């Protein structure tokens, strides 16, 4: 029967019947243990009624003395009881069951599987109180040997069927995960597969939040509402939290032995949900980051078997990849949303200064020589142009920082000078909003090593932000805290504040605080990103604090102190342009003529061309000392015009400067390859252009 594959219950019933024929004064029963040999699961016998087999289900196997079969399996040795009624090694319920079925003595022999582990007990029962004789023991030994073979054959077949089913389930699940699907629905399928494969109907998947150092249940099955509510976002101190902290799977064989649960409501809730053991497997990204946990809960002690854990590892890998993919998609969606908002806000911010400039130009036309109207119009245009230039400069600075092309002009600076310049930059908005600045008396010798323009930009941005998001008449504090090797400067306001969940993201590109006041104040969402990057380039740090909306905010900038030495400041005097012949080429006639007029006022001999072909003709006639050349011109580009100049006798060694709105890294490489000596980005600062002219004209042969 064994060799022909007859089912295990029929084989074991036939075995007990055969033993009864071999030893007529005995009856036999096989008591089967579960796979981890922690409790009895079934009895098989042709000599006892079904009620006897049913009664043994769930009997514990362990140190506690329940009966001879449990001891035989637990200790792996034969156990004799010559007098069941008077023995002290029997639990009352098990003793009564045996006595009611006419069992007065017994001999239990462990049935061993591969590796010598007991899988069952062959229970030889005697009708009188006595010791079994030698033959009866040999019969029981034979029964135990045959039982071990039958049980292992059945479990091997079941294991093979389970392997085939599990592999098919994994293959099917893998196909589903590759295609589209709702994130939580796909996680539920992974959880369901893990539960089925490991022999349970209970489990959950948690997502790890590194900011809060917490685990949150996102999907679950088979768990009671009370348990889910209790552990929903409180898993860090539970078993799953221990596995997460150690980044290593944890199998809890018996929840009643957990120290951290003993005597707590948590243990009561777990036992109420019929949970006796748990497995907790960390979900890790490919670079080893913790993403979450895959947890299963079992109604019996011992947890899953090793084979189930192998499949759980595969499912954990699938869950981790799904979570990682979902997080990347969410980040990309957020990035797209921020960029869309940024482009919309950019269009808005560019139009804002253009409207008053257009109005003032119309007023100038109608002023009929009224000097007050003309002066006011000029002032408005200057202010709005400055706002427009700052906006473009911020965008260019972001680009330079991202490409690593922003260079700092470092010098030793008194911190008070930096702050006073920043106050001057933001003075207009502070006065317009009638806000009060409370500033500490900075020490005169408290110095930092930095770029005056960039540090002014940092504190100017923070002060302007504080003014924009503080109501008219509000207060802004500017204070410092001196430490041994650094100084911390604080810009604090009593304005609209920042939601706590956005404190970590406000320094990211295109990020704006999402409330009505923020949107009403405009901005591109790049100012704080610039602040952070510039401070870091100075070896410092920046952080924000706020108690929430309408509770104000504070920005803390920490900068390293410079060595106490004499302060060396860069000269503020505008250099004088050298007298020279300058050829300016730009297809934008207004831009060309206005810049030519400014340079002519500085004493330069300026001639203007409006195309690449024309600049070559004018150059042949004028023989300039320096050329300013736009890149994007119709017909012949600035690159081509520069190359052709280099082929002429008059242009071979001529200083040629690219003057363009193109400022990417590849744009700089292209101008250099074309033969340009320098690259300036529109709108050009007149002081920067003058300094460059001084340098290039002096170097020119």
pLDDT tens digit string along 419-438? 888 888 788 888 888 998 88
Provide the pLDDT confidence category of residue 64 given band limits of 50, 70 and 90. Answer: low
| Predicted local distance difference test score (pLDDT) of residue 179 | 59
Phi, psi (degrees; rounded to nearest 5) at 526? -120, -10
Lowest mean pLDDT among 121-130, 478-487, 544-553: 478-487
Mean pLDDT of 600-610: 92
Q: Does residue 265 have a pLDDT over 90?
A: no
At residue 516, the pLDDT reads 37
Q: Model confidence at 567, in pLDDT bands (50, 70, 90)? A: very low
* pLDDT, mean of residues 495-517: 70
Bridge partners, 204 (sequence order): 220, 295
- Which pLDDT band holds residue 569 (cuts at 50, 70, 90)? very low
Mean pLDDT score, 507-514 = 64
Tell me if the pTM is above 0.75. no
pLDDT band of residue 155 (cuts 50, 70, 90) is confident
Whole-angstrom CA distances from 190 to 232, 329, 698 are: 19, 20, 73
Residue 37 in this model has a pLDDT that exceeds 60? yes
pLDDT at 65: 67
**Which letter does DSSP use for residue 87 in this model?**
-
Given pLDDT bands bounded at 50, 70 and 90, which one contains residue 586?
very high
- DSSP bridge partners of 121: 31, 110
Percent residues over pLDDT 90 in the chain: 31
The rounded mean pLDDT for the chain is: 84
Instruction: Provide the pLDDT for residue 565.
Output: 42
User: pLDDT grade, residue 520 (50/70/90)?
Assistant: very low
**Rounded Cα–Cα distance for residues 72 and 59 (Å):** 14
pLDDT for position 510: 59
| Contact predicate 567/413, CB 8 Å | yes
Lowest mean pLDDT among 24-33, 81-90, 433-442, 577-586: 433-442
| Contact yes or no for 184/157 (Cβ under 8 A) | no
> Do residues 282 and 293 lie in contact, with contact meaning Cβ atoms separated by under 8 Å?
yes
**pLDDT band with cut points at 50, 70 and 90 for residue 572:** very low
Helices (H), 179-238: 183-197, 225-231
């Amino acid at each position: 029967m064994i060799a022909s594959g007859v089912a295990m219950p029929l084989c074991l019933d036939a075995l007990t019947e055969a033993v009864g024929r071999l030893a007529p004064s005995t009856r036999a029963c096989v008591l089967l243990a579960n796979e981890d040999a922690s409790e009895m699961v079934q009895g098989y016998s042709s000599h006892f009624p079904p009620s006897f087999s049913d009664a043994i289900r769930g009997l514990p196997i362990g140190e506690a003395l329940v009966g001879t079969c449990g001891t035989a399996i637990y200790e792996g040795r034969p156990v004799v009881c010559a007098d069941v009624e008077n023995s002290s090694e029997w639990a009352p319920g098990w003793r009564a069951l045996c006595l009611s079925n006419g069992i007065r003595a017994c001999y239990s022999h462990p049935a061993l599987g591969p590796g010598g582990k007991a899988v069952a007990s062959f229970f030889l029962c005697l009708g009188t109180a006595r010791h079994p004789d030698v033959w009866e023991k040999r019969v029981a030994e034979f029964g135990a040997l045959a039982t071990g073979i039958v049980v292992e054959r059945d479990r091997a077949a079941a294991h093979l069927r389970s392997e085939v089913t599990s592999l098919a389930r994994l293959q099917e699940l893998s196909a589903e995960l590759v295609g589209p699907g709702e994130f939580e629905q796909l996680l539920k399928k992974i959880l369901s597969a893990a539960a089925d494969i490991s022999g349970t109907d209970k489990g959950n998947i948690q997502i790890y939040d590194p900011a809060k150092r917490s685990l949150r249940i996102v999907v679950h099955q088979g768990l009671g509402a009370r348990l889910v509510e209790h552990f929903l976002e409180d898993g860090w101190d539970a078993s799953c939290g221990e596995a997460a902290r150690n980044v290593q799977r944890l199998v809890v064989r018996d929840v009643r032995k957990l120290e951290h649960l003993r005597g707590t409501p948590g243990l009561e809730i777990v036992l109420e949900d019929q949970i006796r053991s748990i497995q907790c497997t960390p979900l890790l990204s490919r670079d080893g980051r913790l993403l979450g946990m895959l947890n299963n809960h079992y109604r019996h002690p011992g947890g899953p078997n090793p084979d189930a854990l192998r499949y759980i590892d595969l499912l954990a890998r699938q869950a981790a990849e799904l979570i990682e993919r979902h997080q990347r998609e969410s980040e990309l969606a957020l990035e797209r949303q921020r960029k869309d908002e940024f482009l919309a806000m950019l269009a808005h911010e560019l139009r804002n200064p253009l409207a008053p400039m257009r109005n003032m130009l119309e007023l100038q036309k109608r002023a009929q020589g009224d000097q007050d109207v003309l002066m006011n119009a000029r002032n408005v245009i200057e202010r709005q142009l400055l706002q427009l230039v700052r906006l473009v400069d911020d965008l260019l600075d972001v680009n330079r920082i991202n490409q690593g092309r922003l260079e700092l002009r470092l010098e030793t600076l008194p911190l008070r000078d930096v702050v006073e310049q920043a106050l001057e930059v933001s003075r207009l908005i502070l006065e317009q909003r009638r806000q009060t600045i409370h500033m500490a008396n900075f020490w005169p010798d408290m110095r930092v090593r930095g770029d005056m323009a960039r540090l002014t930009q940092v504190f100017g941005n923070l002060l302007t932000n504080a003014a924009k998001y503080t109501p008219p008449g509000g207060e802004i504090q500017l204070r410092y805290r001196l430490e041994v090797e650094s100084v911390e400067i604080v810009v604090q306001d009593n304005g609209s504040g920042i939601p706590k969940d956005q404190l970590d993201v406000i320094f990211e590109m295109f990020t704006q605080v999402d409330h009505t006041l923020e949107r009403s104040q405009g901005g591109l969402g790049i100012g704080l990103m610039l602040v952070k990057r510039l401070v870091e380039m100075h070896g410092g740090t920046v952080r924000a604090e706020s108690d929430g909306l309408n509770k104000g905010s504070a920005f803390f900038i920490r900068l390293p102190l410079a060595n106490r030495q004499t302060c060396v400041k860069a000269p503020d005097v505008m250099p004088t342009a050298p007298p020279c012949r300058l050829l300016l080429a730009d297809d934008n006639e207004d831009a060309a003529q206005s810049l030519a007029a400014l340079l002519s006022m500085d004493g330069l001999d300026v001639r203007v061309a409006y195309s690449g072909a024309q600049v070559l003709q004018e150059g042949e006639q004028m023989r300039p000392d320096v050329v300013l050349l736009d890149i994007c011109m119709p017909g012949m580009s600035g690159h081509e015009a520069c190359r052709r100049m280099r082929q002429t006798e008059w242009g071979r060694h001529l200083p040629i400067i690219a003057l363009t709105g193109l400022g990417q890294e590849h744009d700089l490489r292209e101008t250099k390859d074309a033969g340009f000596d320098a690259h300036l980005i529109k709108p050009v600062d007149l002081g920067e252009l003058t300094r460059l002219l001084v340098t290039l004209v002096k170097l020119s042969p």
